[in-house]
Amino acid sequence: MDGRGCVDHTIFGACDRCDMLCILSCGACGVVPCLRSCSRRFGVVHLAGCLWPETVHMPSPRNFFWSHATHLLRRCGRQPDGVSSQRSLYSAAPIADLIAPPLGANFWGIGCSRRHRNLPAMENQVKGMMSGGLDVSDLKNANTVGGGVGDTFGEDAATEEQPFTPWARIVASGLELLRDPRYNKGLAFTEVERDRHYLRGLLPPTVISQELQVERILENVRSYQNPLEKYIALMDLQERNERLFYKVLIDHVEELLPIVYTPVVGEACQKYGNIFRRPHGLYISLKDRGHVLELLKNWPEKNVEVIVVTDGERILGLGDLGLNGMGIPIGKLALYTALGGVRPSSTLPIAIDVGTNNEALLKNPFYIGLRQRRTTGQEYDELLHEFMIACKQAYGEKVLIQFEDFANHNAFRLLQKYATTHLVFNDDIQGTAAVALAGLVAALPITGGTLADHKFLFLGAGEAGTGIAEIIALEVSKQAIRIPMKIRSGLYGTLCCSHQGKITVEEARKAIHLVDSKGLVTKSRYESLQEHKRPYAHEHPPAHDLLSAVKVLKPTVLIGTSGKGGTFTKEVLEEVSSYQDKPIIMALSNPTSQSECTAEEAYKYTKGKCIFASGSPFSPVTYEGKTYVIGQSNNCYIFPGMGLGCTISGAIRVHDDMFLAAAEALAKQINEEHLAKNQLYPAFNEIREISAHIGAAVAAKAYELGLATKLPQPKDLFAYAKSCMYSPNYRQYRKSLLPGATVPRPRL
């Protein structure tokens, strides 16, 4: 096949695992069959509405394709003796035979190229599928003046009104291989690979290692002064060389994580239309109602395991960014692969466009989304429901769907609606909660006591705030009956529980208080509160601001999820430290500009007393001669491991206990060396190992709860998790050889 083809070409490709050729699509109608011949002796292809027979049974596909291609070469007057593999056979000969029904007596009369075939019946059938008018195949195919090559496939002769087929060769070689980000290795292709895959002359003669490529990329990225330029450079790399992108990101995660994700991704989303280069992921809009399943089928990868979806209404702390919010699913899934080892081919970023209420975007000529006010109510719900159903239809029961950056009024109800019918979670609610809980548990050796000994005050009562509050109450309630006992000995001495008796979730909530935009959440405001805030409405006098609430409640843990920078003021921090020796301060909002306070402010105004963690990265702080390393309470500690755990266990639902298991696994990674620096989270350079631990813990809990489907359960889940993780190292490309194979006449 010469890379362009015509209406009677069938496109073939090779299985990544066994290198066996499989039919990828029909040359006449583009219908993609499902042929899983690499795992069976027999494969069956069914193409509804195609020119093929309704089913084609193919015994021993490897031998079938080999002999079939050889037959076609001979029909074209060429000899296959010098061709050593299926791939080069199909690169040399177009495939015509399989398209003309019925596959009977007429089969052997079919030619192999346009100049040899005599198939008026097939031509008429194909043209009958067209909408009418002159087809480019009817145009004259004479050689050009001066003996040039004729326009065989009508690409240059076609007008804008005349349809032609945009053929692309599927078996990667030559320029197609260099332009495919999944397989491109740039100058790292070896001499042998360049010969085998027709790359000679398409690349400079130098062969360099992947490690040297990493150094070059880093040097280029570091040369940019603007963080957004660094982001664009890395995204361009992802689009042209996937493995090199992940190699760079994995090996230098601490340096590049703030660029690929928060805080730089926030600016990238704000300017997404301006920096848009090529589409990445799927874009589903109101225009696509009734056709969502068809859109999912347009995605080239069929074995999708993890989906991150957003409607762009609440992007980080930046508000409604509409379709510009696509930067978040793309960034999240890059971290699923880099940090959690989930294969990039099994991930799918999706943005659902229902409009935007952001006037600046609606007026921006470069905005890429629908130019209308955001749709709500039944129309919105119907589109989301169609999407959720279509995901199951396209990818099965075990596809993990992560809701990302939905506004509060949709986030809670969508999670509640689909948690029992789909494998789904909301990272803003559950992921943020799990990573925050891990930090709190890690801080207990420093503060003493247990979670039940603390009083919590949240600034912000949205998805993140109430999600963290609920997981804290759940963790406290799941602890065993409390009797005085030693729970840990170490650098900070022996810690003991002081509570006795079982604590219920309702009782645990009484130690948790929320402050929203109208002040302290109390019983007196119960009727006007949103549903997710009501469990935390307690009997207290009203407090109209955070400082008043701190003075009244005297919390030992202060957590910020407000998305408003500078709200942990000097007065608030000084008040907290006035009655508590080791207050826990967690400023979790991001990006950095929206953080409730900086690390330096926290240590300065509490006079070095506090235990501080943040949602955005901060440099270490030195106060009175002691250096504190700032742990970043970043969701990327949790969701990659959660995705890994769900995929390796084949989980069909996400249970709250799986997030508790993830939080506990993360907290266990903190040792005395971390605690000596008040560091509540491990360094990011350890995160792939951490994700394997979390994935194993999540998978173990899924098996325990009866939610796992991959049986039997591996004996060593941690080792199994590590073995399943994606490696960004280059793989060697080979050709499939069949030494000594005979080529019989194909039988159908």
pLDDT one-digit tens code per residue, 541-580: 899 999 999 999 999 999 999 989 999 999 999 999 999 9
Q: Per residue in 76-91, pLDDT tens?
A: 444 555 444 444 443 3
Query: Residue 706's pLDDT is what?
Result: 96
Query: Residue 161's pLDDT is what?
Result: 62
Region 158-174 average pLDDT? 58
Query: Residue 263's pLDDT is what?
Result: 84
Using CA atoms, how far apart are residues 89 and 627, in angstroms rounded to an integer? 65
β-bridge pairing 456-459 and 400-403 = unpaired
At 127, list the tokens: 């043209």
The answer to whether 464 and 432 have CB atoms below 8 angstroms apart is: yes
At residue 698, what is the residue type?
Answer: V
pLDDT bucket at 501, cuts 50 / 70 / 90: low
**Closest to 487 (Cα-Cα) out of 453, 513, 517, 514:** 453
**Closest to 361 (Cα-Cα) out of 270, 267, 285:** 270
Position 709 pLDDT exceeds 50:
yes
Q: What percent of the chain has pLDDT over 90?
A: 64
The yes-or-no answer on residue 332 being catalytic is: yes
Using CA atoms, how far apart are residues 656 and 647, in angstroms rounded to an integer? 17
Position 371 pLDDT exceeds 70:
yes
Region 332-355 average pLDDT? 97
CB atoms within 10 A of CB 486: 9
- Listed ranges 241-250, 311-320, 627-636; the one with the highest mean pLDDT: 241-250
Residues whose CB is less than 8 angstroms from the CB of residue 707 and which lie 6 or more positions away in sequence, other chains included: 649, 651, 652, 653, 655
Query: Residue 70's pLDDT is what?
Result: 54
The reply to whether omega before 263 is within 30° of 0 (cis) is yes
Position 741 pLDDT exceeds 70:
no
Query: Residue 102's pLDDT is what?
Result: 35
Instruction: Report H helices in 424-567.
Output: 432-447, 463-478, 505-509, 546-553
β-bridge pairing 486-488 and 495-496 = antiparallel
**Closest to 251 (Cα-Cα) out of 648, 728, 715:** 728
Region 531-538 average pLDDT? 94
pLDDT bucket at 733, cuts 50 / 70 / 90: confident
pLDDT bucket at 721, cuts 50 / 70 / 90: very high
Position 258 pLDDT exceeds 80:
yes
**Closest to 79 (Cα-Cα) out of 91, 96, 92:** 92
Using CA atoms, how far apart are residues 173 and 735, in angstroms rounded to an integer? 11
- Mean pLDDT in the chain? 80
Using CA atoms, how far apart are residues 596 and 561, in angstroms rounded to an integer? 8
Higher pLDDT residue, 163 or 636? 636
Position 269 pLDDT exceeds 90:
yes
At 199, list the tokens: 């790359």
Q: Provide the β-strand partners of residue 496.
A: 486
Using CA atoms, how far apart are residues 416 and 50, in angstroms rounded to an integer? 42
pLDDT bucket at 479, cuts 50 / 70 / 90: confident
Query: Residue 96's pLDDT is what?
Result: 36
Position 658 pLDDT exceeds 60:
yes
Using CA atoms, how far apart are residues 450 and 434, in angstroms rounded to an integer? 17
Q: Per residue in 27-60, pLDDT tens?
A: 344 444 433 333 332 333 333 333 333 333 333 3
The answer to whether 248 and 210 have CB atoms below 8 angstroms apart is: no
Q: Count CA atoms within 13 Å of residue 59 on its CB side.
A: 3
Using CA atoms, how far apart are residues 66 and 84, in angstroms rounded to an integer? 10
The yes-or-no answer on residue 579 being catalytic is: no
User: Which H or E element spans position 212?
Assistant: helix 210-222
Region 438-451 average pLDDT? 94
Query: Residue 358's pLDDT is what?
Result: 96
Q: Count CA atoms within 13 Å of residue 647 on its CB side.
A: 31
The b/e string for 313-340 (b: 16+ C-beta within 10 A; e otherwise) is bbbbbbebbbbbbbbbbbbbbbbbbbbb
Q: Is 195 helix (H, G, I), strand (E, B) or coil?
A: helix
pLDDT bucket at 591, cuts 50 / 70 / 90: confident
Using CA atoms, how far apart are residues 359 and 232, in angstroms rounded to an integer? 25
pTM: 0.76
Position 626 pLDDT exceeds 50:
yes
Active-site choice (90, 231, 246, 261): 261
**Closest to 666 (Cα-Cα) out of 685, 627, 703, 694:** 694
Q: Per residue in 466-477, pLDDT tens?
A: 999 999 999 999
Region 141-168 average pLDDT? 49
CB atoms within 10 A of CB 215: 12
Residues whose CB is less than 8 angstroms from the CB of residue 393 and which lie 6 or more positions away in sequence, other chains included: 293, 296
For residue 24, how far is the Cα from the chain centroid?
25
At residue 454, what is the residue type?
Answer: H
Active-site choice (185, 230, 332, 701): 332
Region 199-228 average pLDDT? 96
For residue 17, how far is the Cα from the chain centroid?
23
pLDDT bucket at 11, cuts 50 / 70 / 90: very low
